[in-house]
Amino acid sequence: MIKKVVEEEISYKINESLGNALKNAGINTLKTAAKGIVAPSMLAQDAVKKLGNISMGNDTITGTISDFFGGNSSSTAGKTGGSKSKAEKRRDRVSASKDVGYEFGKPETVPGWGRRVKLDGKSEMTVPPYDQNKKTGCTLDWGEFGAHYHDEGDRMWNKKISDTERTLIRVSHGDQNRQDKLQRKYKRALVDWLKERDRAYENYIKSIN
């Protein structure tokens, strides 16, 4: 019964992620590599046989990883563990930076201990003044938004509130009462966005450190 369960489970798992298993195992024998390329199911059969024998008491776990993957068991275990390589960590940092930057802008940071970085402190969010020449910035009085983390140069924040103001003026159609009501609604949405960005920035810093 045990052998049957082991065979079914291992066969499924190996066939499902064989490519990753071969890559992470650090294959160093032509024989095993060729077997995996020409007939992947043969590797699954080898594993089923090996683990089946272990479950029946006809073999031991010693050397199993090395026997199956054609490598050193101790080094293989290290490569297939939970730790990531420097290249993988670097890719994760780049990916995290792109994700947070696309939606919220790259956060302002300051050096931390060693090679670490940390977020610059929270401070009051200000509204960009209207620039008559560039036709950018805001003309309305938005009041205070509270202290939050800033993106670099407040570029994303300035764009966010400027776009919101233009939308507000457009949909109000010159109705001041409607504009005042919508502005209160839009301001709540902007504050929620800033709070969400604060959390995203904190998670981003954790992920890159």
Structural domain boundaries, residue 68 = 2-79
Whether the per-residue pLDDT at 21 is higher than 80: the answer is no
**161 and 115 in a common domain:** yes
Residues 56 and 132 in one domain: no
What's the mean pLDDT when you consider all of the chain?
A: 76
How does pLDDT run across 117-143, given as a tens digit for each residue? 999 999 999 999 999 998 889 999 999
pLDDT at 8: 60
The domain boundary, picked from 23, 46, 79, lies at: 79
Residue entry with tokens 């670490």: 116
pLDDT of 70 > 60? The answer is: no
Boundary (domain end) residue, out of 79, 112, 130? 79
> 172 pLDDT exceeds 50?
yes
Q: How far apart are CA 22 and CA 18, in angstroms?
A: 6
Domain match, 137 and 105 both = yes
Q: Are residues 59 and 124 in the same domain?
A: no
* Residue 201 pLDDT greater than 80, yes or no: yes
Note whether 73 and 103 are same-domain residues.
Answer: no
**Contact (CB, 8 A) for 145 and 153:** no
How many domains is the chain partitioned into structurally? 2
Is-contact 196 163, C-beta < 8 A?
Answer: no
Query: Which one of 45, 79, 113 terminates a domain?
Result: 79
Q: Do 105 and 194 belong together in one domain?
A: yes
* Strand 147-148 with 117-119, pairing: unpaired
Strands (E), the chain: 109-111, 117-119, 123-124, 147-148
Question: What crossing angle do the helices spanning 40-55 and 18-25 adopt, rounded to 10°?
Answer: 80
The answer to whether residues 60 and 93 belong to one domain is: no
